[in-house]
Amino acid sequence: MFGKLKYRIAFTVATILALTALAACGGDSATQAPAATSAPAPQATAAPATAAPAQPTAAAQPTQAPAPRATQAPAAGQPTSPPAPTAGAGITATRAPVPASGVQETDYTPAARLLMEGGPKALAEANGESPRYGGKFLANNWEPIPFYDMHQTSFGGVYVITAPAYNGLLATSPYDELAAEIIPDLARTWDISDGGATVVFHLAEGVTWHDGAPFSAEDVKWTIERIKNPPEGMVSPRQGVFRSTVETVEVIDPNTVQLKSDGFSPLLVPLFSNGWNAIIPKHISEVDPVNAMMTQVIGTGAFRLLEPPTTTLWQFERNPDYFDENLPYLDEIEYQIIQDPQAQAAALLTQKVYFNDSIGGINFSPELAQSVADREPGLVFSPVPTITVSHFVMNGTRPPFDDIRVRQAVSDAIRRESIAELGPQAGTVGTGNFPLGPWALPKEVQESLIGYGPDMDARIANSKSLLAEYESENGEINWNNITIQCSSNITWACPNAEVVQQLLKKIDVDVDLEPLDVTAHRGNEVSGDYLMSLLGAGLDFDDPIDTFGQLYITDGGRWYQRRSIPELDELFQQQKAERDFDKRRELVWEMDKIATNDAAYLVLHWWQFNRVQWDFVKGLTSTASARTTNARMIYTWMDLPEANRTSR
């Protein structure tokens, strides 16, 4: 694999979101969140300032709090091994992501070398395929498309449906189940130096945008700086990981760009194999940096729009000017937008679509996926665990959730395993780090934390005690004024919220659900206009720079809880610079304990994707990453009579 560092990153993923489900939900609206302010928050054991009963009023500003401690939890055990995974009900995934290496020197993957030396045919043949050209691919997207700029959202549907029009600097092998094996894309070669702190990308020559304008290194620089330092009015969910990874971007010449990090970064190269980090046209975007790409799809990709999209249909045709004359294999792609899982299943069974979606089968439960696959011998069900979470978030700036006792009471009452057992979505219970990866907390440590103890009776008693203590000082909480927001058009969101709703009744907390369209719901999470919210977030890499950088660090890309913890921020900076794996993991585990006990952003579980596709679909492997570049469909081909050409 790529690189030689002892510690590795798992390219699994991802992915906004259900909006990947929000691909997991990550979808963020283009509404600018208020700037963070500094305000002390209570320790778990100290009496807080008096707080009035919660009222659903205007969004408050983020608070700043000292690192929390669990109010009542067993002493932590010594770190030994990661916890055994707790799988969801129904069919469970058998493949777990493994980390890919951080890079200190240039070392191409086997797939990259095959492409560089023999082209796409060599890569396909090494994986037992002999691609043919031609045909129209019938695809499905599972959610409405509110806008087209993938850099301003984590909505998986936006990414998937626009991806065929774009390229990135790098990609991942379409045959790699982990989406970890890096291959060339716009960057045909690259050189790594300074112990992994500098990378120089050598770009393909003669590349043009779909409008005929020439592509150059200036487009690369513009794209990276726009994501890293978005203009006012633009939400950039991935700005945190870009700021933590990329220090400078320099154009050497029109076909060469140099990136530097502030010291070694394990993500400096892998970051650009993430499908969401596609390169966009500077000459179009700079006219209106916030809005220009919201309504236009103009890339360098292997496919271009055949005609303007509608709310139910997107049609692409092969780009005749694509810079690799051997690609793509398909002539056309037709995306239907089918939101209802049963309607998706019917379309699959009748071959009106050839897969339930290109990244993970987000709207399929494992039971539905298996039942569909069982009805036709040519349908293949591929379940995979991913670094995508279902989350339950409490707004740490608004009473009563500005008090750690209330947040911990809620967290301890939610039995995470119940989400998979009673809801429509399978997954693995874990904390802020992927539970099947190298950063996972040891089981005995996880069970010492708020919300993860094995004795539910003790947890319920603890929750009631915490609420009683809070109410004795601040008055009774009026739960009638508090709702759980959920996305009505994301198949699993409100059902998962119903599970949480029932669990909270065990501590005498009775709240209503507030179903919203996912676009409005995610906008509320971004702006802070909520008290409790259940949705999800698709991450990009199994590395704390990405996971914690998005979910927990002050001003991170998915910092919906709006809780600033200085100790956590400081540990984040320390672990980012630490090269020794064991030392870094100790810092990461401490971060995880702090974030989990703070109990503002609760990870309910880490998803399982349930991909179903016809067996004649080739060059499109089901992967553990919702951020896989497979969504670009550059290497996809069909083993059907209509695909009858052996060359372009």
Helix, strand or coil, per DSSP, at residue 304: strand
Handedness of CA 163, 241, 257, 105 (dihedral sign): negative
pTM for this entry? 0.79
Would you say 104 and 5 are in contact if contact means Cβ atoms under 8 Å apart?
Answer: yes
Q: What's the per-residue H, E or C state across 480-533?
A: HHCEEEEECCCCCHHHHHHHHHHHHHHHCCCCEEEEECHHHHHHHHHHCCCCEE
CA 45 vs. chain centroid, Å, equals 34
Average pLDDT, the chain: 85
Q: Is residue 386 part of a domain?
A: no
Nearest to 286 by CA among 231, 246, 325, 334: 231
Q: Which secondary-structure segment (H or E) carries 462?
A: helix 456-474
Residue 84, Cβ density class (10 Å: 0-12 exposed, 13-18 middle, ≥19 buried): exposed
Whose structure tokens read 């409008």?
211
Question: pLDDT tens, 240-283?
Answer: 889 989 999 999 999 999 999 988 888 999 999 999 999 999 99
Q: Is residue 316 part of a domain?
A: yes
The C-alpha atoms of residue 277 and residue 223 are separated, in whole angstroms, by 8
Question: Distance from first CA to last CA of the chain, Å, rounded?
Answer: 31
Domain count for the chain, please give it.
Answer: 1
What does 338-385 look like in DSSP terms, one character per residue? ---HHHHHHHHHTTSSSBS-SS--TT--HHHHHHHHHH-TTEEEEEEE
Q: What is the CATH number of the domain that holds 342?
A: 3.40.190.10
Q: Is residue 168 part of a domain?
A: yes
The C-alpha atoms of residue 407 and residue 395 are separated, in whole angstroms, by 9
Question: pLDDT tens, 105-162?
Answer: 678 999 999 999 999 999 999 999 999 999 999 999 988 899 999 999 878 889 999 9
Biggest distance spanned by C-alpha atoms of the chain: 77
Would you say 253 and 313 are in contact if contact means Cβ atoms under 8 Å apart?
Answer: no
What's residue 580's pLDDT?
Answer: 93
Nearest to 301 by CA among 181, 215, 201, 174: 215
Helix, strand or coil, per DSSP, at residue 249: strand
Average pLDDT over residues 170-178: 93
| Residues 444, 450, 451, 455, Cα dihedral to 10° | 60
Average pLDDT over residues 170-192: 94
Question: pLDDT tens, 384-434?
Answer: 888 899 999 999 999 999 999 999 999 999 999 999 999 988 999 999 999
Question: pLDDT tens, 78-121?
Answer: 333 444 444 433 333 333 343 444 556 678 999 999 999 999 99
Q: Is residue 135 part of a domain?
A: yes
Q: Identify any residues that bridge with 319 across adjacent strands, giving them in sequence order.
A: none
Q: Is residue 240 part of a domain?
A: yes
Q: Is residue 589 part of a domain?
A: no
Cis peptide before 640 (omega within 30 of 0): no
Residue 320, Cβ density class (10 Å: 0-12 exposed, 13-18 middle, ≥19 buried): exposed
Tokens for 550, please give them.
């998005």
Percent of the chain with pLDDT over 70: 84
Residue ranges of E strands in 378-508: 379-394, 427-428, 483-487
DSSP summary character for residue 626: T
What's residue 513's pLDDT?
Answer: 98
Would you say 43 and 594 are in contact if contact means Cβ atoms under 8 Å apart?
Answer: no
What's residue 237's pLDDT?
Answer: 87
Q: Is residue 453 part of a domain?
A: no
DSSP summary character for residue 436: T
Domain region containing 332: 99-376+611-638
What's residue 103's pLDDT?
Answer: 54
Going by pLDDT thresholds of 50, 70 and 90, the confidence category of residue 320 is very high
The C-alpha atoms of residue 300 and residue 91 are separated, in whole angstroms, by 39
Question: pLDDT tens, 593-631?
Answer: 999 999 999 999 999 989 899 999 999 988 877 778 999
